[in-house]
Amino acid sequence: MTMLTIIIVLALLATAAALIWGIVSMAHGGEFDQHHSLQLMFARVGLQGLTLLLLFLALLIAVR
């Protein structure tokens, strides 16, 4: 496995963790969810964007 592949897998796992954390937070509700739901959503979206950029980079490298 190349270093880029490992980084992509880690970014994908971090995205999934942020998604699950946000879902669990919403399910429980309460004060934590009120204060951190927006932060968790932005973290997930940012990690998703990073993962997609890394995937496109790997695609460009593979094509060359």
Q: Tell me: pLDDT of 18 over 80.
A: yes
pLDDT for residue 1 is more than 90: no
> Helices marked H in 1-64 — which ranges?
3-28, 30-63
Alpha carbon distance 39, 27 (integer Å): 16
Q: How many CB atoms lie within 10 A of CB 46?
A: 13
pLDDT in tens, 19-63: 999 999 999 988 988 999 999 999 999 999 999 999 999 999 999
State how far the alpha carbon of 29 is from the alpha carbons of 22, 34, 35, 51, in Å. 10, 7, 10, 28
Closest CA to 12 of 59, 64, 58, 49: 49
pLDDT at 5: 96
Boundaries of every domain in the chain: 3-63
pTM: 0.86
Residue with tokens 């399910």: 27
